[in-house]
Amino acid sequence: METVPSLERFRRRDWLKTEPEGSVRFALVGLGSFTREWIIPALERSTYNEATCLVSGDAEKADRIAEEHGVGSAVTYEGFLDGTADDSYDAVYIATPNALHLPYAEHAAANGKHVLCEKPMEATADRAREMVETCEAAGVTLMVAYRLQFNPTVRWVRSLLREGTLGMPVHVRGAMSQDIFEAISPDPNQWRLDPELSGGAALADLGLYPLNTSRFLLDADPTEVTAQVSNRHDAFEGVDESIAFTVSYDDGTVGAYTASQRSDVTSHLHVTGTAGTVRLEPTFFGEVEATLQTDEGTLTVEPGEENEMIEEFDYFASRVLTDVDVAPDGRHGLEDMRTIERLYRDAGLDLG
């Protein structure tokens, strides 16, 4: 397809405007499997970052992992909030249970440290708003870790949409689901199923991916939303086991989505316009493959070598080191928190 923009520009870090000097020293707060298996290795391979402090509820665990990876500082959550490790880091990556994000962001901001916070930002929109306001008042950078936004294939698809390759976007269709008892933990009391700690299960943990990636691709925000929840298993009392939802975007596109924590795996995002369809499939659990279909034919993009986490952290560092604003920033993440709450309200789910 001659009229399609090249993917190469996005594989060569289209976001890198100015080569930064130095690097960002990161404190990693929360040493769950995602931090251990994805973030620490990503930082080891990143260009502008290093992990210099590990923070866990379990002092022994923090020490052990720090030693394994040659990280200089290891502290408990309490030690971190007491300021014990303040000199060891320039920025904090927060990957605790959702309802515990805010205090670590507040401590970082109060000490002039920048914040990269996992999604969803917090358990409630109110607490996410507090995080935004605290970081703004302190003049520190706050970014939300929407890793898909740093995937070169996703960024390329966004450029297709901007250049009108699909005509006018009409529909977005997204799905993300897993069996949480197989994929994460068999424990029915895990924090992701506790409404106070998580702020929701299927939508807040999974459905947020296709929702946020839609916003990114369309460069549009939700106007109206509707949702329906289906709960069958006792472990999901107070949170959503499965959800279907629709979102109208301010460009006139309408989206239909599904997410579930007790389902066969699904992972895709399709955008259909007046002149074609692009399918990102799989999308959300790692490798991203894209298929573009228009009157000109079909173009398939195989998963590249890129690592979303390396891209995300290097982007963040490049902005912090050159004092440039980030996207997706805290206000972008806060918009999602508000949308999540509106969707749960529409579904009649009371998260307390």
**Residues in the site for a copy of itself, rule: CB under 8 A?**
166-168, 170-171, 173, 175, 177, 179, 224, 226-230, 232, 242-248, 252-258, 260, 262-264, 266, 272-277, 293-294, 346
DSSP β-bridge partners for residue 28: 54, 93
CA dihedral 144, 147, 148, 153 (to 10 degrees): 130
CB nearer a copy of itself, residue 140 or residue 259: 259
CB nearer a copy of itself, residue 111 or residue 248: 248
CB nearer a copy of itself, residue 24 or residue 227: 227
- C-alpha 277/C-alpha 168 separation (Å) is 11
Element housing 170 (H / E): strand 169-179
Minimum Å gap between C-beta 277 and a copy of itself is 5
Minimum Å gap between C-beta 340 and a copy of itself is 16
CB nearer a copy of itself, residue 240 or residue 308: 240
For 170, residues 6+ apart whose C-beta sits below 8 A from its C-beta are 253, 254, 272, 273, 274
Helix, strand, coil % in the chain, rounded to nearest 5: 40, 25, 35
CB nearer a copy of itself, residue 97 or residue 167: 167
Minimum Å gap between C-beta 212 and a copy of itself is 17
CB nearer a copy of itself, residue 47 or residue 246: 246
Minimum Å gap between C-beta 233 and a copy of itself is 10
Minimum Å gap between C-beta 225 and a copy of itself is 8
How does DSSP assign 63-75, residue by residue?
HHHHHHHT-SEEE
Minimum Å gap between C-beta 211 and a copy of itself is 12
- C-alpha 160/C-alpha 271 separation (Å) is 11
Pairing relationship of beta strands 262-273 and 276-280 according to DSSP bridges: antiparallel
Minimum Å gap between C-beta 242 and a copy of itself is 5
Three-state DSSP at 305 gives coil
* Nearest-5° Cα angle at 111, 106 to 112: 100
Rg (C-alpha) for the chain, rounded Å, is 20
Structure-token match 């199923």, residue found: 193
CB nearer a copy of itself, residue 196 or residue 346: 346
